[in-house]
Structure 1
Amino acid sequence: MGSFYVNYLPLIFTVHIFSAIVWIGGMVGFSLTVYPSVMQIPNEKMSVRTALRTLNRFFKLLVPVTLLLGISGFLMASGRDYAHQDPVMSVIVTSKELLWLFMAVLYLYAWYKIKEARARCLASDSEHAKDNVKLIAHYIFGIASLLGFCAVYFGYILRSV
């Protein structure tokens, strides 16, 4: 694993950073720009449907990004062999992995809420659908973004050692 890691480190690192930027930046971008703009559409049902379509496209983009992020993170953690080095580094790697795992759970929960909001919207219950979209945009993406920034900081610590 060591020679593979050394030979492909620039590619692995680039894929990892790009994936993290898309994941975190996409959530921040949706919460701060797309969601407020979509909610200004006068027709409530139309605004909720537009937000749901946008979220659906974003989540389809996140599936391969999440896989690339996980695989590249695993390759970097095993290539540097943090488990057999300093215990503090091992704790940082484990903490970073747990942060991304929790964000993946939030992602799955948000996906469930999108499906629920779509069903409510189709049943002409746009008020509850709007509440689900608001939950995703304000709270789930907000928490996941903060956790993502923490994971980026941990990654910075690991790269600088």
Structure 2
Amino acid sequence: METLFHNFSSIIVFLHVISAVIWVGGMIAIRLAVHYSMQEVQDPKIKLGRTLENLRRFFNMVIPSIIVLLLTAIIMIIALGFKGTPLYSIVIAKESVWTIMTIVFAVIFIKRNQAQKAFDEGKLPLAKEKLAPIANYLIPLNILLGIVAIYLGITLRGF
């Protein structure tokens, strides 16, 4: 693992950072740009359909990013020898935040799939009900957690 990191450290760190950017930046774009632009759509069926499609496409980008983020984190933790150092508590805090974010993402994924099923069955109020927590609570929570994790990562790189 150490040899892998030392031979490809720039690529591994780049993949780690770009994965975080895609995940957190994507959530910011979805919540602060796409969500508000969708409010202009008057037809509820079109609005729900577009929202579900936007989330599906977002998931197609984010799921690989989450996997890359995890793999590169493991490589860096092992290769940089954080275990047993004073910095290890920051590593644990950062990885705990990403773990919570992944759990929240799983909830978002499940709720989106439930909304899609309701939408496909013509149950628009139920689909809207399933989507509401995503925009109102879950994505904002993950944005906040993502910003904290990025800050912790910058703190680690500064040492």
TM bucket by the smaller chain? over 0.9
* Partner of residue 100, structure 1: 98
Contact 2:22 2:61 in 1 (8 A): no
Q: Secondary structure at the match of 1:84?
A: coil
* Partner of residue 8, structure 2: 8
* Partner of residue 30, structure 1: 30
Aligned-partner Cα distance in 1 for 2:2–2:75: 10
* Partner of residue 128, structure 1: 126
Percent of pairs with identical residues = 27
* Partner of residue 83, structure 2: 83
Q: Which runs of 5+ in 2 are unaligned?
A: none
Q: Secondary structure at the match of 2:122?
A: coil
Equivalenced residues, count: 159
Q: Secondary structure at the match of 1:85?
A: coil
Cα displacement string for residues 30-83 of structure 1 (whole angstroms, at most 9, x for unaligned residues): 001111112321100110011001101111211111111111111111111111
Contact 2:94 2:149 in 1 (8 A): yes
AA partner of residue 66 (structure 2): T
Q: Secondary structure at the match of 1:83?
A: coil
The two structures have a TM-score, normalised by structure 2, of 0.95
Equivalent in 146, 149, 155 of residue 148 of structure 1: 146
Q: Quote the offset at 1:4 in angstroms.
A: 2.2
AA partner of residue 85 (structure 2): Q
Contact 1:96 1:154 in 2 (8 A): yes
Q: Secondary structure at the match of 2:83?
A: helix
The two structures, once aligned, show a CA RMSD in angstroms of: 1.2
* Partner of residue 46, structure 1: 46
Cα displacement string for residues 84-108 of structure 1 (whole angstroms, at most 9, x for unaligned residues): 222xx11111111111111111111
Cα displacement string for residues 138-159 of structure 1 (whole angstroms, at most 9, x for unaligned residues): 3111000100000011101110
Q: Quote the offset at 1:131 in angstroms.
A: 2.8
Aligned-partner Cα distance in 2 for 1:154–1:71: 18
The two structures have a TM-score, normalised by structure 1, of 0.94
1:60 aligns with 2:60: yes
Q: Quote the offset at 1:133 in angstroms.
A: 2.1
Q: Which runs of 5+ in 1 are unaligned?
A: none
AA partner of residue 46 (structure 1): I
Aligned-partner Cα distance in 2 for 1:134–1:14: 34
Contact 2:15 2:69 in 1 (8 A): yes
